[in-house]
Amino acid sequence: MKNKIYDYVVLIEQDEDGVYVAKVPDIPGCYTQGKTVQQAMERIREAIDVCIESEREELVPMRFVGLRHIAVELKAISTC
């Protein structure tokens, strides 16, 4: 029997304390953190395994299209 290989997009952000947070948008609740990007990536691989095992249902990854930046201007709130 062949193992099935899934390809997931991992989103990595750095929080205000300098910790790297890794998330898998295709798997709800699948996230972890690390002191370095490498550590976060090692841990997210483990988190993916745990999430997939706990779900026990077929996960169908979405097709990654890309990332975009958008600038939004917040209007000042006037006080009375």
**40 close to 75: Cβ distance less than 8 angstroms:** no
53 has a pLDDT exceeding 70: yes
More confident residue, 59 or 33: 33
Residue 34: per-residue pLDDT: 97
61 has a pLDDT exceeding 90: no
Range 58-75 burial, b when 16+ CB lie within 10 A, else e: eeeeeeeeeeeeeeeeee
Q: What's 2's domain CATH number?
A: 3.30.160.250
Percent of residues, the chain, with pLDDT higher than 90: 49
Domain with 13 in it: 1-80
Of 58, 55, 18, whose CA–CA distance to 40 is shortest?
18
80 has a pLDDT exceeding 80: no
Q: What share of the chain is helix, strand, coil (3-state, %, to 5)?
A: 25, 15, 60
40 has a pLDDT exceeding 80: yes
pTM over 0.75: no
Of 59, 70, 75, 66, whose CA–CA distance to 27 is shortest?
59
Q: What is the total count of domains within the chain?
A: 1
